[in-house]
Every structure is written in structure tokens, then in C-alpha cells.
Amino acid sequence: MNYEHAFVCGNPALDFAATLRARRTVRFEMFATPDRLDAWFIESGLVDTIAPADEADVEQAKETREAIYALVAARQFGQEYDEEALSRLNGAARKPPATPQLSQAGRRTEATAEQALSTVARQTVELLSGPDVPLMKECGNPECTRIYIDRSRGMRRQWCGMESCGNKFKAAAYRARKKSTSGAADG
């Protein structure tokens, strides 16, 4: 099970919200199957093993993700929280979270999808009530709708990640400069 989800937002709650890609254009759903949801929880590092999710878990995750995205966007833009989104997030956060255990081999976290989702919801509560709120920015790629934490010097970061969005724009800008330079030389 390796789907290589992207974790570029600087916070698991923001990475979770970013699993619906390109919200303003051709949406791409990362949680298309229970296996994809399981993979995200493991690849995120929240859990080491997870009981296999089912379709109901996927629907719960999608609904919670959309609540997280709505709350993050509202907080980022200084708007009031949507009451339904608050209720959904807080309901997920009230469930038992994934709990790490210590064994002879070290730390290990086993969870159900509901426990892992509760952990993400609790991280969202911490994020939106914590010191990183002023550092949240939306990616400069107009097709990307990821919100990330900008910890760069001077808060000058423009992209959620260089590999995912920044390189595309830098390459396009380079091609445009090269084309205008060659066009000027021809004239």
C-alpha cells in the first residue's frame, strides 16, 4: 500500500484538508477508496498500522475534511466559522484518538480510521487555536488550493511545495522570459 500522498503543508490537518486537490478546477479526490484513506493515515505518520477502513469511514473522512477546509479557510480570511463545520470537527475530535503505546520494540500507534480521524480533528483544533494561524497561506498556484504554514524567513514562500507547484511556475516563467528574449532579438 503505497500511494505517495503529498505532505507539504507543514501541519497534518492542512495536509488532510489538501486531499481534495484543485478545488476550483478539476477536482481530484485522494480518498477514492478505503485503501487510499488507510494509506494517508500511515504515510502521514499519525499511525503505524490501521484497521482496514470501509466506505463509511471514507465518507466520514471526506465530510470531516471538508469541515476542516471550511474552518481553515474561514480562519485564514478572518471570517466567522460555519456552525455545521464546527459541529462536524468537534464531533470527530470528541471520539477517542489514536493512542501511541510503548513496547519492547519502541513506540507504536495502532488505530481504527475513526481514531486516526479524531487525531486529525484534534490537530485542527490545536492549529486553529494556536500560534501558527498568522503563518497560514494559500499556494500561489491558481490551480492549487492547498493552505500551508509559511515558516520561511520573511514569510516569502509562495508555493505549497517546490516539487508540486513551485517548479511548474518557475519553469513556465523561465520559458516565458526565454521566449520574450528570443522574440526581442528577432525584432
Q: Are 159 and 145 in contact (CB under 8 A)?
A: no
So what's the architecture of 12-186 in CATH? Orthogonal Bundle (1.10)
Model pLDDT for residues 96-139, shown as the tens digit of each residue = 999 999 999 999 999 999 999 999 999 999 999 999 999 999 99
Q: How far is residue 89 from each of residues 35, 121, 140, 168, 182, measured CA to CA in Å? A: 23, 6, 27, 34, 54
Question: What's the chain's Rg over C-alpha atoms?
Answer: 19
Domain edges within the chain? 12-186
Q: And the C-alpha cell for 173?
A: 516563467
**Interval 72-92: pLDDT, tens:** 999 988 999 999 999 999 999
Closest alpha carbon to 31 in 70, 71, 77, 65: 65
Give tens-digit pLDDT for 11-60: 999 999 999 988 888 888 999 999 999 999 999 999 999 999 999 999 99
Cα–Cα distance measured from residue 123 to residue 108, given in angstroms and rounded to the nearest whole number: 19
User: Which cell is 73 given?
Assistant: 479557510
Q: Which residues of 89-99 are buried (b: 16+ CB within 10 A; e: fewer)?
A: beebbeeebbe
pLDDT tens-digit readout, 131-182: 999 999 999 888 888 999 999 988 888 888 777 686 666 666 556 666 776 6
